[in-house]
């Protein structure tokens, strides 16, 4: 859609127009020089890391960003990358109650049900993938962001955040829905289920929920048979969760992990060229609630989620113009 080639043709035409106006209408040379010294014009003569006009995330040379961003950490499990280094396996185990399951066997079973090839390792000069990360915040109510959200290549939603009845504010497309067994919801067959595996049992659950439905409980009773297109199921890599935990959030405590919203944002950062964020944080009155739930009667500022390092990191990403955050209403 946003092919660089087309833009180049447009700019070559524009340039010719400018040059003719310089020669014909005697536009002052300084002004012409100013026009020439424009990053967009400069881009005509360089091979760009991606085809987006606004930004190419992964290629940013922002120092704060490059200190943290690791392009080579795979965000998704595949047949080829499923072996976990000891330190990561130990960390992942520490998040969950002891499991007797054999990890490599669980992975084998998973990839006998869902596709095992790698995904989205296709960054390059001809790709401009725009992504909307849509949280569940009440600040979406009355925002009229629907069409804007839907205009992205990928629209990522999380957990049970509904679309039906909220289209004008949250959009109607969902390309990816990120969830874990306890937050699962049925999907249509065009949406990618992206599983966040907080424990081995979560991977066993997704295998089961797409086949015979034998896993009926995780922390508590969960959906045992899930409607979803199993050819579109993906699983976030435990090593990716570990990387977000340590490299982005510097979390010291062993038994805590990043929030779903933050993990989805990081996932988007690693597979998209341009990321826009919707439905994160409180509304303009400082109220925290879900857009699909009634507004609390008293506008109580909980503030509990607001001061954390995740929030700081999102602000920093925005300040450095690496992402755009749409604050809603």
- Binding ligand NAG by CB under 6 A: which of 23, 99, 102, 302? 102
Site for ligand NAG in 74-93 (CB under 6 A): 78-80
**Helix crossing, 309-319 with 260-271: angle to 10°?**
30
User: Which lies closer to ligand NAG via its Cβ, residue 92 or residue 278?
Assistant: 92
**Alpha carbons within 13 A on the beta-carbon side of 317:** 25
Rg of the chain, C-alpha, whole Å? 23
Instruction: Tell me: does residue 31 bind ligand NAG (CB under 6 A).
Output: no
Taking the CB of residue 66, how many other CB atoms lie within 10 A of it? 13
Count the residues of the shown chain that bind ligand NAG, applying the rule CB under 6 A.
Answer: 14
CB of 231 to ligand NAG, least distance (A): 7
b/e string for 212-240 if b means 16 or more Cβ within 10 A?
eeebeebeeebbeebebebebbbbbbbbb
User: Which lies closer to ligand NAG via its Cβ, residue 90 or residue 102?
Assistant: 102
- Binding ligand NAG by CB under 6 A: which of 23, 126, 189, 211? 189
Give CA angle at 25 (21, 29), nearest 5°. Answer: 75
CB of 180 to ligand NAG, least distance (A): 24
Tokens found for residue 247: 């490299």
User: Which lies closer to ligand NAG via its Cβ, residue 200 or residue 244?
Assistant: 200
CB of 70 to ligand NAG, least distance (A): 19
CB of 188 to ligand NAG, least distance (A): 7
Site for ligand NAG in 113-142 (CB under 6 A): 116-118
Respond yes or no: is residue 257 known to be catalytic.
yes
What is the phi/psi pair of residue 265, to 5°? -60, -45
Return d(Cα 69, Cα 71) in angstroms, integer.
Answer: 6
Which amino acids are annotated catalytic?
257, 305
Binding site for ligand NAG (CB under 6 A): 33, 37, 78-80, 102, 104-105, 108, 116-118, 189, 229
């Amino acid at each position: 859609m946003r092919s660089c080639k087309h833009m180049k043709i447009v700019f070559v035409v524009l340039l010719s127009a400018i040059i003719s106006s310089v020669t014909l209408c005697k536009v002052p040379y300084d002004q012409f020089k100013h026009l020439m010294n424009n990053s967009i014009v400069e881009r005509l003569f360089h091979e760009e890391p991606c085809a987006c006009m606004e930004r190419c995330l992964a290629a940013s040379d922002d120092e704060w960003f490059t200190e943290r961003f690791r392009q080579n950490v795979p965000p998704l499990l595949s047949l080829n990358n499923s072996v976990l280094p000891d330190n990561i396996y130990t960390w992942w185990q520490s998040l969950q109650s002891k499991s007797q399951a054999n990890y490599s066997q669980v992975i084998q079973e998973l990839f006998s049900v869902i596709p095992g090839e790698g995904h989205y390792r296709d960054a390059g000069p001809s790709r401009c993938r725009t992504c909307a990360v849509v949280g569940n915040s009440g600040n979406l109510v009355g925002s009229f962001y629907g069409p804007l959200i839907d205009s992205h290549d990928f629209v990522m939603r999380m957990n049970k955040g509904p679309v039906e009845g909220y289209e004008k504010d949250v959009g109607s497309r969902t390309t990816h829905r990120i969830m874990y067994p306890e937050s699962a919801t049925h999907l249509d067959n065009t949406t990618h289920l992206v599983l966040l595996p907080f424990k081995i049992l979560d991977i066993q659950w997704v295998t089961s929920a797409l086949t015979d439905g034998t896993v009926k409980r995780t922390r508590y009773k969960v959906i045992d048979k899930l409607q979803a297109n199993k050819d579109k199921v993906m699983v976030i890599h435990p090593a990716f969760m570990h990387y977000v935990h340590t490299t982005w959030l510097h979390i010291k405590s062993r038994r805590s992990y990043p929030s779903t919203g933050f993990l989805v944002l990081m996932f988007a950062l690693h597979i998209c060229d341009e990321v826009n964020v919707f439905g994160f944080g409180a509304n303009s009155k400082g109220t925290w609630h879900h857009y699909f739930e009634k507004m609390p009667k008293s506008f109580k500022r909980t503030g509990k989620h607001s001061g954390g390092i995740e929030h700081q990191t999102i602000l920093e990403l925005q300040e450095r113009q690496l992402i755009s955050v749409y604050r809603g209403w």
